[in-house]
Structure 1
Amino acid sequence: MFWLGARKGTSLLMPKSRLTILVGNYGSGKTELSLNLSLMLAQEGKKVALVDLDIVNPYFRSRERADILVRHGVEPILPQGEYIMSEAPALPPEITGYLRNLDYQVVVDVGGDNTGATALGRFSEIIAAGSHELLMVVNAYRPDTDTPEKVVAMLSSIEEASGLKVTSLVNNTNLAWETDLSVVLQGQWLVEQVHQLTGLPIAFTAVESSLLEQARANLPGTIIVPVDIKMRLNWAQT
Structure 2
Amino acid sequence: MSRVDALKHCDVALVRKRLIGLHFWERNLAVGGALGSGKSEWLLNLAHTFLQKGEGIRIADVDITNPYFCVRERAEALRAEGFQVITSPGNARWGDAPALSPEVSRSIGGSDRLFLDVGGDVRGGMALTQFAPLLKKEGITFLLVVNAFRPQTNTLQKIAVLHAELEMVTGLKITGLLSNAHCLGETTMEDVAKGIDLAKEASEALGIPLLYAGVAEALWCAVVGSSEERATLAGVPLWPLERRILLPWERGVVDA
Structure 1 length-normalised TM: 0.90
Contact 1:39/1:69 (8 A) holds in 2: no
Q: 2:106 and 2:153 mapped to 1: Cα distance? A: 34
Q: 1:160 and 1:8 mapped to 2: Cα distance? A: 36
Aligned to 2:58, what secondary structure does the other structure show? strand
Q: 1:206 and 1:152 mapped to 2: Cα distance? A: 20
Indicate the residue corresponding to 1:3 in structure 2.
Answer: none
Q: Following TM superposition, by how much is the alpha carbon of 1:33 offset from its aligned partner in structure 2, in angstroms?
A: 1.2
Q: Following TM superposition, by how much is the alpha carbon of 1:122 offset from its aligned partner in structure 2, in angstroms?
A: 0.9
Pick the aligned partner of 1:176 from 162, 184, 202: 184
Indicate the residue corresponding to 1:151 in structure 2.
Answer: 159
Q: 1:113 and 1:234 mapped to 2: Cα distance? A: 22
Aligned runs of 1:194-233 on 2, under 5 Å?
A: 194-213=202-221, 214=223, 217=230, 219=233, 221-233=235-247
Indicate the residue corresponding to 2:4 in structure 1.
Answer: none
Pick the aligned partner of 2:104 from 86, 95, 102: 95
Unaligned runs of 5+ in 2: 1-10, 252-256
Indicate the residue corresponding to 2:84 in structure 1.
Answer: 75
Q: 1:146 and 1:120 mapped to 2: Cα distance? A: 25
Indicate the residue corresponding to 2:249 in structure 1.
Answer: 235
CA RMSD of aligned residues (A): 2.0
Aligned to 1:42, what secondary structure does the other structure show? helix
Structure 2 length-normalised TM: 0.84
Pick the aligned partner of 1:136 from 116, 127, 144: 144
Pick the aligned partner of 1:58 from 43, 62, 67: 67
Q: 1:200 and 1:98 mapped to 2: Cα distance? A: 27
- Cα distance per residue 1:97-139 (max 9 Å; x no partner): 11111x1111111111110011111100011112221000111
Indicate the residue corresponding to 2:38 in structure 1.
Answer: 29
Query: Quick check: 13-22 or 192-201, which moved more?
Result: 13-22
Within the alignment, does 1:123 sit opposite 2:131 as a pair? yes
Aligned to 1:95, what secondary structure does the other structure show? helix
Pick the aligned partner of 1:46 from 52, 55, 64: 55
Letter in 1 for 2:167: E
Query: Quick check: 85-94 or 216-225, which moved more?
Result: 216-225
Q: Following TM superposition, by how much is the alpha carbon of 1:9 offset from its aligned partner in structure 2, in angstroms?
A: 4.5
Q: Following TM superposition, by how much is the alpha carbon of 1:8 offset from its aligned partner in structure 2, in angstroms?
A: 7.1
Identity %: 32
Inter-CA distance 83–17: structure 2 relative to 1 (3 Å threshold): same
Q: Which has the larger radius of gyration?
A: 2
Contact 2:121/2:162 (8 A) holds in 1: yes
Letter in 2 for 1:226: P
Q: Following TM superposition, by how much is the alpha carbon of 1:236 offset from its aligned partner in structure 2, in angstroms?
A: 6.6
Aligned to 2:185, what secondary structure does the other structure show? helix
- Cα distance per residue 1:16-69 (max 9 Å; x no partner): 321111001101101111112211111111010011111102321111111221
Pick the aligned partner of 2:15 from 10, 14, 23: 10
Q: 1:47 and 1:126 mapped to 2: Cα distance? A: 20
* Runs of 4+ in structure 1 over 4 Å off: 6-9
Q: Following TM superposition, by how much is the alpha carbon of 1:147 offset from its aligned partner in structure 2, in angstroms?
A: 0.5
Kindly tell me the number of residue pairs found equivalent between the two proteins.
Answer: 231
Contact 2:148/2:195 (8 A) holds in 1: yes
Inter-CA distance 89–67: structure 2 relative to 1 (3 Å threshold): closer
